[in-house]
C-alpha cells in the first residue's frame, strides 16, 4: 500500500531504532507516506548478506522497494589477524559482493533508489579501552578494527557506488571532519551515538530529497484529518 | 517473512517513532524477529478509522498480522461543545466502532493477538496554557479535552475488550496512579512524553510476553552471526 524503504545492513542498521536512531527518525519523518523496513543483521558482512538476498528481496511476490539503503563494511573490514577474523572479507570480494547486492535489487526494479553508506570511522583507542566490555575482549587484545583499514573499505564502497551510478554517503570521511568525532559520533568506538545517528539521518534525507523521495513529493496514504468530511465521512476521498 | 505487529491508532500511535517512542522501542526489541508496521493517523477517531480497515487489513492478499494494537479514543472524546467537535464520536458509537475493528481483524485470522489501549489521561491545565501553541487555540478557548470525559471512553474501551476477550492496557488509570503524571507522562497535556511512551512500551511487552509473543519465544529470521559457519557459509542453516 505504501512504498517501502528497506534498511539493509549490519548492526549499525539493526540498532537504528534505538533512542535517537536514524531508522526510527526516518520512520517518524515518513509516517503516513512510506513504510521503513528494518533488515539489519548484527555481525554480518557482505559475504553472508548474499545468502539473505533472495529472501529479503524476493522476485515477484510483492512490489519492489522504493528505496534500499545498503550499509555494510564495518565487519568486512575486521583484520584477518584479529579477534574478529571470521568476519573478515577481502577488499576485492567486498566490492564484488556490494555490486551483487545492487544488481539483485536493481534487477527487481530499475526504479528502486539504492543508497550505499560507507562504514563510519573507527576509534581504535575507544575499542581498546572499552572493547572488552562490549566484545568480551581482554584489554590487551589486539584492536578488532583499524580505522585505516575501514577507510579502504569506505573508499571501495564509493568506487562501487560510482560504477553502479548510485548515490553514496561517505560517512567515514564526513564524520572525521568534525574535531572530537571519536566521542561525539561513536558510542563505543564502532557503533553510532545519537549524534552519529543524526548524521546518517541528515545525509540520507538530503539524498532522498534530491531523488524524488522528499516527504513533500510523496503521497499521503489516507487524507489528513483536516481533509476528512466530518459531516459526511463517506464523501471523503479515502 | 517475519510476523507483523501493526500499530493502528491516532496521533499517539503516529508519533510513536519520535525519540523515546514506544513504536521505535518495540521495533528495536523485536529486531530480527518481527516487523513493526506504523498505521497511526493523527486526528483520527474510530468513525474514520472504519474507512481504512479494508485497506490496512485486506483480505487474503498477505498473511494476517501476528499482533495488532488498537489505540483510539483521545479524539473520539473531544467535547461536542468544544473547538474539536468535528472529531467527537458519541460513546455508544465509539464502543461499536472498536468492536467492528476487532471483528474485522479477527475475521482475517483468529490467531491474531489484538491489544486494546485506552486513551491516556488528559491534563486540562496544560492544554489550556500551551494548547494554543499546539492546536492554534486562543488561551481563553474552552478546553479541547476533558479528563473525565476521556475517562469514560477509557472505561468503554475496557468494556469492549472484556466483551471481545482481548487484553487491554488501561493507560488512563495506570498513568494517574503516579503523582505528577501530568508533566511526567504527557508532553502537552494530550500526547505522551518519553516517560509516557515508556509506560506504553512496558505494558505492551507484558501483554506480548503473556500471550506467546515474548522475544525469546519467537524465531530469528536468519541465524545470529555467531551461528554462521564462517568456514563454509553455504553450510549455514539460512
pLDDT tens, residue by residue, B121-165 = 999 988 887 766 666 666 556 578 899 999 999 999 999 999 999
User: What number is the average pLDDT over the span B210-226?
Assistant: 96
Averaged pLDDT of chain B: 94
Gap from B225 CA to chain A (nearest CA, Å): 5
Best A11, A28, A57, A65 member to test B by mutation, with max B CBs in 10 Å, is: A28
Choose the closest CB to B19 out of A14, A19, A55. Answer: A19
List Cα–Cα distances, A214 to A26, A101, A187, B17, in angstroms.
11, 25, 29, 18
Pick the residue from chain A with its C-alpha nearest to B232. A48
Cell of B103: 471483528
Asked if residues A91 and A46 have their Cβ atoms less than 8 Å apart, the reply is no
* Sequence-separated (6 or more) residues with CB below 8 Å from residue A176: A121
Min Cα distance A176 → chain B (Å) is 25
Secondary structure element (H or E) that encloses residue B114, with its range: strand B113-117
pLDDT of residue A12: 98
Domain ranges of chain A: 4-235
* CB-closest option in B20, B32, B233 to A51: B233
Region B40-61: mean pLDDT is 95
Question: In this complex, do A225 and B20 lie within 8 Å of one another by their Cβ atoms?
Answer: no
| pLDDT of B143 | 72
Facing A27 at nearest CB: one of B25, B38, B47: B38
Instruction: Please name the member of A28, A42, A225 whose beta carbon is closest to the beta carbon of B42.
Output: A225
**Percent of chain A's residues with pLDDT above 70:** 95
- Per the CB < 8 A criterion, the answer to whether A135 and A119 are in contact is no
The string of DSSP codes covering B72-139 is --TTTTS-TTSTTGGG---HHHHHHHHHHHHHHHHHH-TT-EEEEEPPPP--HHHHHHHHHHHH---T
Average pLDDT of A128-139? 67
What one-character DSSP code corresponds to residue A117?
A: E
A135, pLDDT greater than 90: no
pLDDT band at B44 (very low <50, low <70, confident <90, very high): very high
**Interval B84-115: pLDDT, tens:** 889 999 999 999 999 999 999 999 999 999 99
Q: Are B188 and A18 in contact (CB under 8 A)?
A: no
Give me the pLDDT at residue B150, please.
Answer: 97
Out of 2.10.109.10, 3.10.180.10, 3.40.50.1110, 3.20.20.80, select the CATH number for domain B4-235: 3.40.50.1110
pLDDT band at A208 (very low <50, low <70, confident <90, very high): very high
Grid coordinates given for B38: 506504523
Helix count and strand count (H, E) for chain B: 9, 5
Is position A103 annotated as part of the catalytic site? Answer: no
Query: Nearest chain A Cα to B197, which residue?
Result: A19
The answer to whether residues A47 and A97 touch, using CB atoms and an 8 Å cutoff, is yes
Q: What is the pLDDT of residues A72-101, one digit of tens each?
A: 999 999 998 888 889 999 999 999 999 999
Please give the grid coordinates belonging to residue A181. 568525532
Q: How far apart are CA A84 and CA A87, in angstroms?
A: 6
- Rounded Cα gap, residues B9 and B46, in angstroms: 9
Buried b / exposed e over A19-30, threshold 16 CB at 10 Å, is ebbbbbbbbbbb
Nearest CA distance, A36 vs chain B (angstrom): 8
Q: Which three cell numbers stand for residue A24?
A: 526510527
Q: What is the pLDDT of residues B65-75, one digit of tens each?
A: 999 999 999 99
Residue A143 has pLDDT above 80, yes or no: no
Q: Is the pLDDT of residue B169 over 70?
A: yes
Instruction: Flag whether the ipTM exceeds 0.90.
Output: yes
Cβ <8 Å between A28 and B21? yes
CA distance A46 to chain B (A): 12
d(CA B35, CA B48) in angstroms, rounded, equals 25
- As a whole number, mean pLDDT of residues B30-44 equals 98
As a whole number of angstroms, the distance between CA B156 and CA B95 comes to 6
Chain B residues whose CB is inside 8 A of the A43 CB are 224-226, 228
pLDDT for residue B178 is more than 90: yes
Digit-coded pLDDT (tens) for A44-68: 999 999 999 999 999 987 899 999 9
As a whole number, mean pLDDT of residues B186-190 equals 92
Predicted pLDDT at B144: 82
**pLDDT of res. B49:** 98
Q: Which residue of A has its CA nearest to B234?
A: A51
d(CA A209, CA A27): 15
Rounded to the nearest integer, the mean pLDDT of chain A is 94
Amino acid at each position: 500500500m505504501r512504498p517501502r524503504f528497506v534498511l539493509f545492513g549490519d548492526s549499525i542498521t539493526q540498532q537504528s531504532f534505538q533512542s535517537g536512531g536514524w531508522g526510527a527518525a526516518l520512520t517518524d519523518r515518513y509516517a503516513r507516506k512510506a513504510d521503513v523496513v528494518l533488515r539489519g543483521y548484527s555481525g554480518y558482512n557482505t559475504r553472508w548478506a548474499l545468502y539473505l538476498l533472495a529472501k529479503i528481496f524476493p522476485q515477484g511476490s510483492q512490489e519492489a522497494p522504493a528505496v534500499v539503503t545498503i550499509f555494510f563494511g564495518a565487519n568486512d573490514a575486521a583484520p584477518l589477524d584479529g579477534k574478529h577474523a571470521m568476519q573478515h572479507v577481502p577488499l576485492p570480494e567486498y566490492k564484488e559482493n556490494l555490486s551483487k547486492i545492487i544488481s539483485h535489487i536493481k534487477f527487481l526494479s530499475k526504479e528502486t533508489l539504492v543508497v550505499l553508506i560507507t562504514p563510519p570511522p573507527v576509534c581504535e583507542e575507544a575499542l581498546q579501552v572499552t572493547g572488552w566490555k562490549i566484545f568480551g575482549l581482554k584489554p590487551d587484545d589486539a584492536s578488532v578494527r583499524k580505522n585505516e583499514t575501514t577507510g579502504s573499505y569506505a573508499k571501495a564502497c564509493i568506487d562501487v557506488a560510482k560504477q553502479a551510478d548510485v548515490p553514496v554517503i561517505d560517512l567515514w570521511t564526513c564524520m572525521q571532519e568534525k574535531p572530537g568525532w571519536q566521542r561525539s559520533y561513536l558510542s563505543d568506538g564502532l557503533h553510532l551515538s545519537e549524534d552519529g545517528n543524526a548524521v546518517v539521518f541528515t545525509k540520507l534525507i538530503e539524498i532522498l530529497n534530491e531523488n524524488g523521495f522528499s516527504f513533500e513529493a510523496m503521497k499521503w496514504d489516507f487524507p489528513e484529518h483536516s481533509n476528512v468530511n466530518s459531516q459526511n465521512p463517506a464523501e471523503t476521498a479515502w
